[in-house]
Structure 1
């Protein structure tokens, strides 16, 4: 049985790596199946996929032909709450069902999965993640720590051990006899070879994490953090961050990511051993753009700041402006800043002396911005504003595309690619900004928030961490 787990960080890195490094048509969507819920996790057993679909319960799909997946059956009983994770040991599926705890389902007949039993962690626990090793089930209880459950008799699951003094546990990863836990009190390792008496091994970090992954002898988290865990009792730090990733830029073999109240730089020359240079804690965490050896970053509650990152070992701030916002793009001599006051155009000819040269606040606060050949696409509440910025000192509104919310935007020539919130993924022809025309659309079942386009391939993510890849060579039929 194969299990596929994609945290928000992994999805974001995959999105950026594909968009920045992959040749045209290197990846295309083989197929997709839109489930009614949020699709938190998926386990694959042979040609059958089992989806922990949040409010949609457990969904079972045939993926024999990846281009044409179809649903075989479901176990959506709403009384069991949201399905957060699933592992399968045929003919049984073990589902972490939040406040209901653990649900064990017989999936021998995929068209009619049947309840075997439920297990409710003591004290009103909330099951958010599960791992299975033989007849031992590890349950991450976000309210009660780690639960070790004997499922040798599936109809009679019995707790045989627990680790409760951890704070909330959001994720568990089992490597041999070692359980790695992402908790409110950091990363913890426990030896569970004797399930009735789990033994503490190490706590390499006290930072709050949501996700932990172990690949070989490397441990990674949902921040720019990595450890060598060849000896679980004495993990060796490879890179350490101080927060989870917000936005990031890949610059050659370096990744600059916003974390906590600033950003971090890591060298990815050796992907197996990322080298952390350090944190720049006075640079905003909302967005970051790298151009010409300088990093331009912003924060909703802080200033627009410029850092010299030409030498990552000696990165330092060179300038700032009192602007608060969400996004920034740099094109040529100007930075285009989406902020609480709308669009600001900043002259960065001399990055050490940035100056606002033009503003456009006709649409109110802006969340996203992209610029191409004198046109700016500005994401605001209720849609996308199109502006003429050929004269940076006097940007002017030329058109508007109404949407049910808007996420990211990408302008490429006359085409505007939009992560259109509740309207899914959309492509508009903006050759005439006064009258933008819808060219193609793909509706999603959840809020679409990010899009990156490289050549004829578009990569989108949704608020529930789904990655979708589209061939957009024909904009009318993505």
Structure 2
């Protein structure tokens, strides 16, 4: 689900400020990862959009998919892909309601290249293109805000609008079968809707019928020739042959599944238990044949491709099924979605980068190329809530992970390709985490915050030394004998808390600064004398903490919005280096000159495809902006940039 956040393209733009800031210090380097869109297969290649980029897999040998690279990012997060006469159309959207289609040429199939943009299909202040489907030279663009549009793509680089159909507004998935265009998605009132659109006249579609699926039992709908297949806690089959009289012809409880693939007379339901294989020869009476184990926890996308049934999971896996015997499928191949579908934190250790991945644990990658090296799947209950890894700290060859639904998990990084668990500590709603030697500091956010100090000298048996009630601790860092907490004012005072941790058994608040009631992130100078607060009101606040008992705000600057939302922004994360604060916010990463702390000056904005939830800096000076939905954006220091002011 996309929230109302604004993000943008890769062009680097400067905005007005009270005084002239220093020249920009970063340049865009690369991007990757993010939410998965439905894949496209063409020839010997598979195209998978994650976030704002499209990954390319060479499938000459389907048993051994080979990652061939990824495209330059689209302007926003890609929601849908379709192939049109040797071009890929990628429908992107940004939560500031701007949207469009980026067109990639496939002249070199392994290297799709941006060939054009198309964003004027409708005059509207709000756009939401979610789905694409193609039939011949006609492309159908489903926009959740404005309806269905028919594009003439005889000239693929210059599509033209032929018509518009109102009344259909759900386009999470779309497919064409003969003279029917099927569309499905969540309704505003809950549950799923399936629309059947008559495209007998391709340029003048007509909404021919619609039906609602029980939202308590159906989580998704698969669209197939003549039938819609609802899956979730039940398997429900709907006959679409007569769109004016859509009828439910089957209903049975199942092991929960959130994906379905129909391959002729065989139906594969995909869920946490693996692949449920059904005989679908009689759609009104499908029969369960068997369940085949497979690494399919949390499927995000399922598709029948030229290479076989394909599952793309929220845990960064691509799983290709072998169907030589359709009713006894096998796992024919697996591959990893680089950077991850939902990376929430990043940390570095030598030549390795580590991502905290929502849904399973830790992904290791080459710190320079970001090529996947390995993964650590925490042995936690098969639930995205339990496995929601939100925080990561690396210290002395160990990774410390904060799992919101469980607590702390500790992994040994001796072999970056295969981290192994060392120990764990239950702590519901753990979010912020930082390790220093034998001490681990952890904060939580739900139903009232708690700050805990753990002894991890024996990682197999972490023990609590002391605890302190807070409000909602979104971020924390430790400098010497003091911990600095960024709190939200939901269950008490928000802002900055300074906590004395010299007596680990009795951590105590010694000072507070509450000018920002909802502090989302912070960075603190190495000497502990200056704190930088990313505030939910869109400001960066600078606090003098020389006197730990009486921290005082000494400067602040409010980051601007965008033309459609000029007064709205929220700062989520900050890292400071070389007198520049890099502030992750709703629209990207803003550089703020903080060399004069009482007069910070906002400067260049590096725009991203979605709001930036976390900013971190690598040892080589690169700045990583994690947006989750649109993926990770990496910005490299310019040739004249110097990082040398003592900040971590």
Provide TM-score, normalisation by structure 2. 0.53
Are 2:495 and 2:515, in contact at CA under 8 Å, matched by a contact in 1?
yes
Counterpart of 1:287 (choices 432, 442, 447) is 432
Whole-angstrom distance in 1 between the partners of 2:454 and 2:435: 9
Q: How does 1:66-215 map to 2 (within 5 A)?
A: 69=114, 71-74=116-119, 76-77=121-122, 82-86=128-132, 107-110=153-156, 111-112=158-159, 126-129=170-173, 141-142=185-186, 159-164=225-230, 166=232, 172=259, 179=268, 181=270, 189-191=275-277, 194=280, 197=283, 202=291, 213=313, 214-215=317-318
Which residue of 1 is the match for residue 575 of structure 2? 410
SS at match of 1:465: coil
Structure 2 runs not aligned, ≥5 long: 1-41, 54-69, 206-222, 235-255, 302-311, 320-330, 343-357, 362-376, 560-568, 642-648
After alignment, is 396-405 or 448-457 more displaced? Answer: 448-457
- Distance in 1 separating the partners of 2:574 and 2:72: 24
Answer with 1 or 2: which has the greater Rg: 2
CA contact (8 A) 1:254 1:269 kept: no
1:51 aligns with 2:91: yes
CA distance in 2, matches of 1:441, 1:81: 23
Inter-partner Cα distance in structure 2 for 1:413 and 1:386: 15
1:296 aligned to which of 439, 442, 455: 442
Task: Pick from 458, 469, 480 the counterpart of residue 332 of structure 1.
Answer: 480
Secondary structure of 1:349's partner?
coil
Distance 1:175 1:433, change over 3 A: farther
Distance 2:415 2:201 in 1: 45
Q: 1:138: Cα distance to partner? A: 9.9
Higher relative contact order (CA 8 A, sep 6+): 2
Aligned to 2:605: 441
**Residue in 2 that maps onto 1:4:** 48
Task: Report Cα offsets for 1:238-273 as digits up to 9, x if no partner.
Answer: 844442535221534635132226344556777787
Report the number of matched residues: 440
- Matches of 1:102 and 1:261 in 2, distance apart? 43
**Closer, same or farther: CA 103–263 of 1 in aligned 2, 3 Å:** farther
Cα separation, 1, equivalents of 2:180 and 2:291: 22
Aligned to 2:532: 377
1: distance between equivalents of 2:143 and 2:415? Answer: 39
Question: Is contact 1:457–1:472 with CA below 8 Å preserved after alignment?
Answer: yes
SS in 1 for 2:475: strand
Q: 1:119 to 1:191 in 2, by over 3 A?
A: farther
Of 405, 428, 442, 1:260 maps to 405
Which of 496, 500, 508 is equivalent to 1:347?
Answer: 500
Q: What is the match of residue 224 of structure 1?
A: 359
Contact 2:269 2:277 in 1 (8 A): no
Q: Distance in 2 between matches of 1:239 and 1:407?
A: 30
RMSD of aligned Cα (Å): 5.3
**Whole-angstrom CA distance in 2 between matches of 1:379 and 1:361:** 13
Report Cα offsets for 1:84-129 as digits up to 9, x if no partner.
Answer: 3557798676766559999886644321156799999xxx994424
Whole-Å Cα distance in 2 between the matches of residues 104 and 179 of structure 1?
Answer: 32
Cα drift, residue 453 of structure 1: 2.0
Contact 2:180 2:200 in 1 (8 A): no
